Chain A
Amino acid sequence: MTAVRSAALTAAGRPIAGSRRLSFSWVGLVPFFAYVGLFLFLPTVIIIVGSLTTKEGALTASNFTEIAQGYVVKAFVASITISAASAVVGAVAGALLAYAVAAGNPRGILRRTVTSGSGVLAQFGGVTLAFAFVATIGTTGFVYLFLKDRGIDIYANGVWIYDLAGLTLIYTYFQIPLMLIVFLPAVDGIRPQWREATESLGGGSWHYWRYVAGPLLAPSFLGCTLLLFANAFSAYATAAALITGGGVIIPLVISNLLTSETGRAQPGLAKALAIGMIVVVLLVMSLYTLPQRRTTRWLR
């Protein structure tokens, strides 16, 4: 109805000049599309074209076959491992937090603090986050020294903070808040009446979680875990600040290939890897949207 009314208004507003003015109104869109074309689509085209050509400009598939090199494959495996590990840890801890928050007063100060804080912490990353952990459990870090004074040496088997294990731990710092943000709406959708219904039918806690709440939350939980995976998979700055030198994970390999000063820069391979990353993220994100639909009907 609104559309009809506004269409009528428009028609009444400029009866004659309308058609002529309309023919020039596309000019208003030029700045936006020109800018997006230059700084979003052109880079994409550069990546695609560059991944398919050699440095001299000849067509080739060698950039993609070079992905099969040992160190690249190793970095891909490492990237996927830490993304998966931090996603699972973050998802479980974040889900527990979401449940603890949802069980409280919906308008309480605690809930408001946790959700606002999570919104902030989910964006926290990069150099600052890496330093926060170095100051905490680095070899001169506060917590490390505190524990060591009490006879607990967390690095008894070697310093792991600059390693994949350390990176996984640090990633959970932004994964847990993100999980809270995306998973809390699903937990809020669970109604206390369903628990009462389970009990009136003679079911206990186990039955409730196994047959009612669990199946309802599972798709959303899986989806959110996939999102967390994509999130960790794309992360670069934290790892770059923490790990110097070797390309341990794919984003670091890409940056090494781009900036290498010893003449070993391989822009073609960097572009092929960039495409690899985009494909993985797109794949994970589309998997993510699938399971959501099943439960939205109930979780309103």
Chain B
Amino acid sequence: MNRTRRLKLQAFRAVVFIVLGAFFLVPIAAMLEFSTRGREINERTLNAWGSIVRTPDLTDAITASLEIAAITCIAMLVLLLPTMVWVRLRFPGLNRVVEFICLLPLTVPAIALVVGMVPIYRWLSINLSSSILTLSFAYLILVLPYSYRSLDAGLAAIDLKTLSEAARSLGAGWFTVMWRVVVPNMSSALLNASLLVVALVLGEYTFANLLAYENLQVAIYYVSLVSAGTSIAVAVASLLFAFALLMILSFVGRPPSPIAKAEDADISVGQTVGLSGGLIGRSR
């Protein structure tokens, strides 16, 4: 490569990184700036941040969202992991079916899916419970594709058949196989799947809003109508929390789903991209 072209390339890279870097960092900085504004010009205060804990609506919603995240996470692991293990061991033929079902929520926009969920939730709230925690049922569907991808990567990395046969021949029951053989062998995949679930649930707005539950994002929206500063402070806090989770995720082993798969040029890009496409649709 000759000298002038290398210089041109470096200049091009610098321009791209500076312009796009500003485009992505300025809005986040602006939120921080906005949330620390005082009454006077140039006055800086943390009042808006302090009022987060003094707003019961917000603290309730934060608690509810964290509880839903925990329930969804546990339900995902309890429902999906044994099913995937079982299918691999006993019904290999159904593997593609389960994969197809798990990736299906990606092709249905959240706003469309929620239309079909409204009658179900009306029935649930009359006959079972109208608690906000029932949102976990819907969120479990939303997180299926990402959880499936993470767990699939984890299961592909271990020799499930040999491990389970070995444990079984030593007298272990299926619970022992799951809890003491499979789970310890794929801890990083489980962590990946769980972090993704938490990040997705904390950022979810569409379902909660249309099913008339006040989760974190819905509460942020309502608070913004009264106090812009407070709502933006919570928004920044939840955003930084999600960033932290996802950054941990991208440094703990390989990131799941889109990036991990996209790096292998051989993998059908359709699946990958379908995945990341949905990734987005969900959280907004």
Contacts and interface: CB of A to CB of B under 8 A. Distances in A.
Interface of A: 6, 9-10, 13, 22, 25-26, 28-29, 31-32, 35-36, 38-40, 42-47, 50, 93, 96-97, 99-100, 103-104, 110, 115-117, 119-129, 131-133, 135-136, 140-143, 173-174, 176-178, 181-182, 184-186, 188-189, 192, 205, 220, 223-224, 227, 230-231, 233-238, 240-241, 251, 254-255, 258-259, 267, 270-271, 274-275, 277-278, 281-282, 285, 288-289, 292, 296, 299-300
B115 A178 contact: no
- Interface size class of chain B, counting residues whose CB lies under 8 Å from the partner chain: 35 or more
A259 B115 CA distance: 10
A185 B261 CA distance: 10
Contacts of A120: 242-243, 246-247, 250
B104 interface: yes
A124 B117 contact: no
Interface string B20-36: 10011011111101110
A96 B35 CA distance: 33
Given A100-B16, A127-B221, A47 B112 contact: yes
Contacts of A9: 161-162, 165
A31 B277 contact: no
B235 A128 contact: yes
7 contacts: A115-B250, A120-B246, A123-B279, A127-B220, A131-B232, A177-B24, A274-B111
A280 to B, nearest CB: 9
A141 B264 CA distance: 42
B104 to A, nearest CB: 7
A239 to B, nearest CB: 8
Most B-side CB within 10 Å, residue of A46, A123, A235, A238: A123
Contacts of B239: 124, 128, 132
Interface in B252-269: 255, 258-259, 262-266, 268-269
Contacts of B27: 132-133, 135-136, 173
B250 A119 contact: yes
Chain B binding site: helix, strand, loop or mixed by DSSP? helix
Nearest to B209: A240
A132 B235 CA distance: 9
A176 B28 CA distance: 16
Given A125-B283, A132-B27, A25 B90 contact: yes
Chain A binding site: helix, strand, loop or mixed by DSSP? helix
Given A127-B235, A237-B217, A46 B116 contact: yes
Contacts of A274: 109, 111-113, 115-116
Contacts of A254: 111-112, 115
A258 B118 contact: yes
B120 interface: yes
A184 B262 contact: yes
Contacts of B119: 46, 50
A32 B112 contact: no
B9 interface: yes
Most A-side CB within 10 Å, residue of B27, B29, B33, B203: B27
A240 B208 CA distance: 13
Contacts of B251: 116
B284 A236 contact: yes
Nearest to A228: B277
Contacts of A231: 277, 280-281
A42 B263 CA distance: 36
Contact of A278 (B109, B209, B220): B109
Nearest to A284: B277
Contact of B265 (A97, A289, A296): A296
A265 to B, nearest CB: 10
B284 A237 contact: yes
A42 B119 CA distance: 10
Nearest to B17: A100
Contacts of B109: 233-234, 236, 251, 274, 277-278, 281
Contacts of A96: 16
B81 to A, nearest CB: 10
B270 A39 contact: no
Given A123-B199, A238-B284, A251-B111, A285 B118 contact: no
B126 interface: no
Interface stretch (B51-59, B64-72, B136-144, B180-188): B136-144
A237 B104 contact: no
Contacts of B31: 131-132, 135-136
B273 interface: yes
Contact of A119 (B29, B33, B259, B264): B259
A277 B116 CA distance: 13
Contacts of A186: 265
A258 B30 contact: no
Interface string B113-131: 1111111100000000000
A182 B111 contact: no
A37 B204 CA distance: 22
A281 B283 CA distance: 17
Most B-side CB within 10 Å, residue of A39, A131, A132: A131
B12 interface: yes
